Amino acid sequence: MAKGWNDERPMSPHLTIWKWHPTMLSSILHRATGIVLYIGLLKICFFLAALAMGPKYFDRVKGIIYSPLGTVAFFVFFGILIYHFLNGLRHLFWDIGKGFDPKFANGLSLAIIVASIVIAAALTYVLVGSF
């Protein structure tokens, strides 16, 4: 019981006492990627606004996109976007009552992480041209 509490109610379990498993990691990553996608969308809006401002800004944005840092940023953004999409499909699968077996759910969580990395690498290579 926490100090300062006057009753005998039990405290809620904390994350540090739970045994980590892929489905738990997947749930946390899904929330985190949603936040990062929101921030990334704002960055994309700024890039599009710069592109609309004329050739000078277009060349500047093009230089950023095709730089090594830009390539890494695209890879990370594509990975996050694809992960969030695939994990959202997993949640829709759960909504119809399928895939609740712990072994299957954990395996699917890991498969989604691996697939996101592979697809993001391929997409970055195709769209940016290097990796």
**Residue among 42, 126, 118 nearest 83 (CA):** 118
Whether 117 contacts 79, CB under 8 Å: yes
Q: Is 84 annotated as a binding residue?
A: yes
Residues at the binding site for heme are: 84
Residues at the binding site are: 84
